[in-house]
Structure 1
Amino acid sequence: MVKKKKDMEKVAALDNEYTKEQYAEFQKQQKQLIFRRRRLTVVFLAAFVIFVFSGIQLVKDYSQLNSFKKQHAQVVKESAEVDKKVKRLEQDVALLNDDDYVAKLARDRFDVSKEGEQIYSIPDLNKASSYNSEQQSTEESQSQSHSSEQ
């Protein structure tokens, strides 16, 4: 390769019309080649920018989809809890429509008895039942305050 360059330096170019035309044609082809390469580079850069932008948008959409899925799962769970609470409240309403149950509930809460009925108060059971009712009311108030915060 080095030897060919030295040999080419020893060759003199002819200064005639044909060589000038060939040299001009060669220069024109070189300019067209450079123009094509630049145009191809611009097209590839534009495509690269579009793909990068699309990729970034795709990643954002995917993360947003995941957050929506988490939200959906949470809402479904809360909905199931609310459905259970509604069923329990409907049962309570159904019981409150029963006169015997309401009378028994009133007698229990106010320590009143029917004629001929005897009440035996057992301290441990009364504490446990009052503790359970207090615990349920505390849980309900906490769930209501939690729901209102959101």
Structure 2
Amino acid sequence: MSVLQKNKVTKIRSSYVLEQERKEKRAMRRRRMAIIRFTLLSGILLAISSALLYTLISQSANIEAKIEEEQKLEQQLEKLKKEEQQLKEEIKKLNDDEYIAELARKNYFLSKEGEIIFSVPEE
């Protein structure tokens, strides 16, 4: 019933009504353009923030890897410093004739005059 009543009503075609319809169309177009602009800007901002977040996370992972590597290298450096100190002490000992004689007797079974070397089998 209401559909029949709507068909019977005619619109007034005055300049005021036409102007109001144009204003409504412009307002709808503006709203549509605003929605499109908002959607486009939101997409761009989302893409930029995603790229920045990805960069931040990857840099954070790289920094953590570098820190771990630095710690390992520091441990290795300490170990090498200890080894260097031991080698310096060994060099000092090797400049001593008594130490060299002791090493020769121990490693190469050399003996002093009148000294007898007994080799005992190791089990």
TM-score (norm 1): 0.68
1:74-117 CA-partner distances (Å, limit 9, x unpaired): 22222222222212211211110112111211222332222344
> Percentage identity across aligned positions?
22
Offset of 1:72 from its aligned partner?
1.7
Offset of 1:7 from its aligned partner?
9.3
Can you give the 5+ residue segments of structure 2 that lack an aligned partner in the other structure?
A: none
- Matching residue of 2:6: 9
Offset of 1:49 from its aligned partner?
0.7
- Matching residue of 1:69: 67
- Matching residue of 2:94: 96
Offset of 1:26 from its aligned partner?
1.0
3-state SS of paired residue (1:122): coil
State how many pairs are aligned: 122
With a CA cutoff of 8 Å and minimum separation of 6, indicate the structure with the bigger relative contact order: 2
Task: Pick the aligned partner of 1:86 from 84, 87, 96.
Answer: 84
Q: Distance in 1 between matches of 2:106 and 2:79?
A: 30
Runs of 4+ in structure 1 deviating by more than 6 angstroms, as ranges, are none
Q: Distance in 2 between matches of 1:82 and 1:71?
A: 16
Cα pair distance change 1:8/1:116, threshold 3 Å: farther
Task: Pick the aligned partner of 1:45 from 31, 43, 46.
Answer: 43
Can you give the 5+ residue segments of structure 1 that lack an aligned partner in the other structure?
A: 128-150
Offset of 1:28 from its aligned partner?
1.1
Q: Distance in 1 between matches of 2:26 and 2:4?
A: 26
What CA RMSD, in Å, does the superposition of the two structures yield over aligned residues?
A: 2.5
- Matching residue of 1:19: 17
Read off the aligned partner of 1:40 and give its amino acid letter.
Answer: F
* Superposition map of 1:134-149 within 5 A: none
Q: Distance in 2 between matches of 1:48 and 1:90?
A: 62
- More helix, by proportion: 1
